[in-house]
Amino acid sequence: MSNLKKQEQALVQARSVKEALQVDFVRERFIKNYESITGRKDGDNRFQAEVFHYLELINENEKLKDADRFSHFAALVKAGTTGLSFGKEGQLYPILYGNIVKVQIGAHGKRELLRRMPNVKHIGEGQVVMKGDEFKHDKANNKILVHVTADKEAPLTLDNIRAAYFRIIWKDNDFTDVVVYHDEIVKAKSKSKMQSEQSTWNNWPGQMSVKVAYNRGYKLYYSPPQAEVEGLKEYEAEEDDEEVIVPTQDVPHQEVKVVTEGTSEIDEFLK
């Protein structure tokens, strides 16, 4: 019998998901992957914390409890291999597909992975550009030249959001601004399952718009370390753009002034 078959059998024989996640090989695989990817030595403590967070999430959803046991194991493997958390930071989410749990990396998880890249110095907080703001964007060089908020702010609704962006500052002190415009944000919303009047998109349009920018930056610039690639090889879950978030407040609309010298022709100007 192969190791994977033995592992699957041990998980099935456990009396509960909680008991299954305490099987020795689950703990050992998590610690090995987590310490390899992060360079930290607190793998056992982190494992216990992630099991606690994970069980909290599945206890809120009865259908998740009955999912395939091996997929629960794979979910913990992904947490260990990315170094991200199922905690309240909104980095990882278990999502049910049929009878299989798959793990989705949330927008804040993607931002954290970008921040950890060895050539990245800092990841800025996401911002929204509202109708009436002065906004100059050098698309050719991926740099925002000016963003100044209007004297009279427009209500924070999706219709009034012209763009969302965040800044990546590289180790050489150069920077890249990742910008998504209104039509791209609306397109992302149209693909979401959250379409009701009380959906996250309607209640927190600024947060969701910034999430689209984080997703874009992750797809364009994230390069996983080899340890992460190797650790997920057997258990990689399909990535999905849907995300469940419960923000406590929307993105603050604050004044930003950027002046960049020696740029090419400005491609976009909104006011």
CA dihedral 215, 64, 233, 28 (to 10 degrees): 120
Is pLDDT at 133 greater than 90 in this prediction? yes
What burial letters (b/e) apply to 69-89, b meaning 16+ CB within 10 Å?
bbbbbbbbbbbbbbbbbbbee
Four-residue CA torsion sign, 23, 113, 111, 214: negative
What burial letters (b/e) apply to 166-178, b meaning 16+ CB within 10 Å?
bbbeeeeeebbbb
Residue 267 to residues 77, 146, 164, 175, 256, Cα–Cα distance (Å): 44, 13, 16, 18, 19
Distance CA 109, CA 231 (A): 17
And the tokens for 104? 């989705």
**Which residue, 269, 256, 258, 266, is CA-closest to 149?**
256
In this prediction, residue 20 carries a pLDDT of: 86
Per-residue confidence band for 263, with pLDDT thresholds at 50, 70 and 90: very low
In this prediction, residue 268 carries a pLDDT of: 45
Distance CA 105, CA 102 (A): 10
Is pLDDT at 178 greater than 90 in this prediction? yes
Residue with the bigger pLDDT between 133 and 192: it is 133
Phi-psi region for residue 153, left (φ > 0), alpha (ψ -120 to 50) or beta? beta
Q: E strands within the chain?
A: 92-97, 100-105, 120-123, 127-130, 134-138, 143-148, 161-170, 175-181, 268-270
Lowest-pLDDT range of 14-18, 98-102, 116-120: 14-18
And the tokens for 73? 């194991």
> 173: which residues sit within 8 A by CB, 6+ positions away?
121
Provide, rounded to the nearest whole percent, the portion of the chain with pLDDT above 90.
Answer: 50
Residue 16 to residues 19, 20, 95, 119, 185, Cα–Cα distance (Å): 5, 6, 19, 43, 41
Per-residue confidence band for 90, with pLDDT thresholds at 50, 70 and 90: confident
Is pLDDT at 167 greater than 70 in this prediction? yes
Is pLDDT at 187 greater than 80 in this prediction? yes
CA–chain centroid gap for 88, Å, is: 13
Is pLDDT at 54 greater than 70 in this prediction? yes
Per-residue confidence band for 261, with pLDDT thresholds at 50, 70 and 90: very low
Is pLDDT at 266 greater than 70 in this prediction? no
Q: Read off the pLDDT of residues 201-255 as tens digits, 9 standing for 90 and up.
A: 888 999 999 999 999 999 999 998 765 555 554 444 444 444 444 444 556 555 5
- What's the rounded mean pLDDT across residues 149-168? 92
Distance CA 255, CA 260 (A): 17
Is pLDDT at 264 greater than 70 in this prediction? no
Distance CA 236, CA 100 (A): 12
The pLDDT mean for the chain works out to: 83
Lowest-pLDDT range of 18-22, 61-65, 86-90, 227-231: 227-231
